[in-house]
């Protein structure tokens, strides 16, 4: 069995965000990037556990991103993946999640794959598109919001659990497939220093963007994509809007109205 895990190199959750002068994304200058965001790291962990559980032949980690994204690949190699593939984009490329999916699918199609793992969503654009888009592009079933999976190699069936609103479903589905993981069964392992040193010798293949684009041409669907109009950071806070009230009930009513209609957080 061959397992592929897709990851994204994203700003660290604690990084202070500033808008780029283009006004379309963050300014990457001075930002600390990482792969250990909740979802991708969990997907990598689960991919490695699949290998340990079912003796998968190899775990390959793949990413689309600028040169710095190699760090993400090396991190997963240090966790224990066997090989890495880097689809390298220009440093300032701002790619729609569907475009990223097409680049990944074009390259994955040329590689052996029984299970393709992705995290529920990237920690930056939070699109959560790649999993089921890859399914469609590769002609495979896809399962999302998965919290547990156990493959049965003889029946080619995955026994899974997934999050649904208000609960959890225990379900089965066939593979080869793409699995989008909400969270893993175990905490992601931390690469140990000896494993980091070992990972330096593992193969890391670079795929130039043009090659990946050429491979993506044969995929189903049209290469249309959204374009970013603007990226907006909220202005610094200037003190609270105070809710005036006579009774606690009035305070509650007014507050809920503000949260729903003005702040749009409910």
Partner 1 sequence: MVGLLGSGLSAAAEAVRAYGPDRVLVADDPRLKAFSAQGYSAVAAKMLSSLPEPRAVLAPATAMGRELLPRLAIEVGGTVAPDATDVVPREGGGLVVTRPVFGGRATLVVELPTIPCVSLRPNAFAAEKSPGASTKTEPFPVGDLPATATSVVVEKTVVTRGDTPELTEAPIIVSGGRGMKGPENFALVEKLARVLGAGVGASRAVVDAGWRPASEQVGQTGKTVSPNLYVACGISGAIQHLVGMSSSRCIVAINKDPAAPIFKVANYGVVGDALTILPALTATIARSKGLPNP
Partner 2 sequence: MPIGFELTPDQKELQTLASKFAREEMAPRASECDKKALFPEDIYRRAFDLGLMNLNVPTEYGGSGLALLDQCIITEELASACGGMTTSILANCLAIQPINLGGSPEQKERLLKPFCSSYHLASFGLTEPSGGSDAAALKTRAERRGNHYVLNGQKCFITNAPQASLFTIFATIDPAKRDKGICAFVVPRDTPGLSIGKEEDKMGQRASSTATVIMEDVKVPLENMLGKEGEGFRIAMQTLDSTRTPIGALAVGIARAALEQASKYSLQRTSFGKKIAEHQSIAAKIANMTIELDASRLLTWRAAWLVDQGHRASLESSIAKCFSSDAAMRICDEAIQIFGGYGYMRDYPVEKYLRDAKLCQIYEGANEIQRQVIAREFLKRFA
Query: Of 194 and 230, which has the nearer Cβ to partner 1?
Result: 230
The reply on whether position 12 binds partner 1 by CB under 8 A is no
Contacts of 108 (CB under 8 A, 6+ apart): 4, 62, 116, 134, 138
Interacting positions 240-259 with partner 1 (CB under 8 A)? 240-243, 245, 247-249, 251-253, 255-256, 258-259
Residue of 140, 181, 199, 216 that binds partner 1 (CB under 8 A): 140
Collect contacts of 164-170 with beta carbons under 8 A, ≥24 apart.
none
Closest by alpha carbon to 115, among 181, 41, 194, 19? 181
Interacting positions 205-244 with partner 1 (CB under 8 A)? 220-222, 224-234, 237, 239-243
Residue of 111, 127, 196, 204 that binds partner 1 (CB under 8 A): 127
Only segment of 6-14, 64-72, 74-82, 205-213 that touches partner 1 (CB under 8 A) = 6-14
Contacted by 74, from partner 1, partner 2, none: CB < 5 to 8 Å by type:
partner 2
CB of 6 to partner 2, least distance (A): 20
CB of 129 to partner 1, least distance (A): 4
CB of 75 to partner 2, least distance (A): 7
Start-to-end CA span in the chain (Å): 44
Query: Of 197 and 251, which has the nearer Cβ to partner 1?
Result: 251
User: What Å distances lie between residue 169 and 78, 121, 149, CA to CA?
Assistant: 33, 20, 12
Count, residues near partner 1 per rule CB under 8 A:
83
CB of 213 to partner 2, least distance (A): 26
DSSP states of 40-89: HHHHHHHHHHHHHHHT-SEEEEEEEE-GGGHHHHHHHHHHT-SEEEEEE-
Contacted by 260, from partner 2, partner 1, none: CB < 5 to 8 Å by type:
partner 1
Interacting positions 43-82 with partner 1 (CB under 8 A)? none
DSSP states of 14-46: TPPP-B-TTSSSB--TTPPEES-SHHHHHHHHH
Catalog residues that contact partner 2 under the rule CB under 8 A: 34, 36, 70-71, 74-75, 78, 190-197, 200
Q: What is the dihedral of CA 37, 39, 40, 45, to 10 degrees?
A: 110
């Amino acid at each position: 069995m061959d397992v592929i895990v897709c990851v994204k190199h994203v700003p660290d959750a604690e990084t202070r965000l500033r808008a780029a002068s283009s006004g379309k994304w963050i300014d990457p200058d001075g930002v600390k990037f990482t792969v250990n965001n909740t979802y991708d790291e969990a997907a990598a962990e689960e991919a490695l556990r699949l290998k340990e559980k079912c003796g998968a032949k190899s775990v390959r980690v793949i990413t689309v991103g600028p040169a710095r994204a190699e760090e993400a690949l090396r991190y997963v190699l240090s966790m224990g993946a066997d090989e890495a593939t880097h689809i390298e984009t220009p440093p300032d490329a701002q790619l729609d999640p569907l475009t990223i999916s097409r680049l990944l699918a074009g390259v994955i199609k040329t590689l052996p794959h029984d299970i393709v793992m992705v995290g529920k969503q990237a920690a930056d654009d939070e699109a959560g598109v790649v999993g089921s888009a890859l399914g469609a592009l590769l002609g495979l079933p896809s399962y999302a919001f998965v919290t547990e999976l156990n493959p049965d190699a003889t029946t080619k069936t995955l026994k899974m659990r997934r999050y649904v609103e208000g609960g959890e479903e225990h379900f089965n589905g066939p593979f080869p497939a793409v699995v989008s993981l909400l969270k893993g069964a175990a905490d992601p392992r931390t690469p140990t220093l000896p494993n980091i040193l070992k990972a330096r010798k593992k193969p890391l293949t670079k795929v130039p963007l043009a090659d990946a684009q050429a491979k993506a041409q044969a995929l189903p669907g049209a290469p249309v994509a959204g374009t970013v109009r603007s990226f907006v950071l909220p202005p610094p806070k200037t003190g609270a809007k105070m809710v005036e009230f006579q009774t606690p009930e009035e305070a509650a009513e007014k507050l809920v109205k503000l949260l729903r209609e003005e702040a749009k957080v409910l």
